[in-house]
Structure 1
């Protein structure tokens, strides 16, 4: 009985916390979705790459990843700015994790086989907002390009 009451309070507290703002998973997925929608073209290869990234990044099952992607895409469509996502990530991720997130953004941008100037601009803006140094922004881009050149 006591355990059931504790579980109830944990569920209630988690629900009220989520209502106050996005989770870290949602914030990450939302910023990655920003890269996908930067060129105004939703390519299935980019969506598949995002799904794979989220499955690797977070310890959640496939159904939860699909739901996370749906919610993230809706949040990004209706968000006025990136503040709620960026501030949560800056507060929660180390510098290395933020730089890795930028590398993931580059992977998404190249997932459809081409990099649009709009995607590059969006990643640059997000890197600035996340306080990722320009040198690490460029290093991440080159790393992804080298990986793609090696696999081609």
Structure 2
């Protein structure tokens, strides 16, 4: 290397190569984006409601307002509601914990979100509730940042 321009280019190339090898992006995720599209809001609400039912199933008993007024409208009635909550709880929990783990490993680490930070807890909490929609929102945010960086480079 004979000039500073060559040294700079070599340094940029080394940075790019090492980031690719470590699967670390130059783009940083610095904010949380709540569900905004109708589909994401619907899925978040539906999953949140299911988690609430799973957690409170033991208090939904004969004589409570919800049992007497809402569950008769549930397909299969109160008995099927309790059966569904009991059967679906473990698989739902396992799937959402897996999704949150994969979010941490494939997105949050890659985009510089420090494990245990407030931002990390927001994204992980969102993944635990809604799952896949969290990945879609992060990918959309990253794509937007990449387009802005590309425009700035030209």
Q: Same fold (TM over 0.5)?
A: no
TM-score (norm 1): 0.28
TM-score (norm 2): 0.27
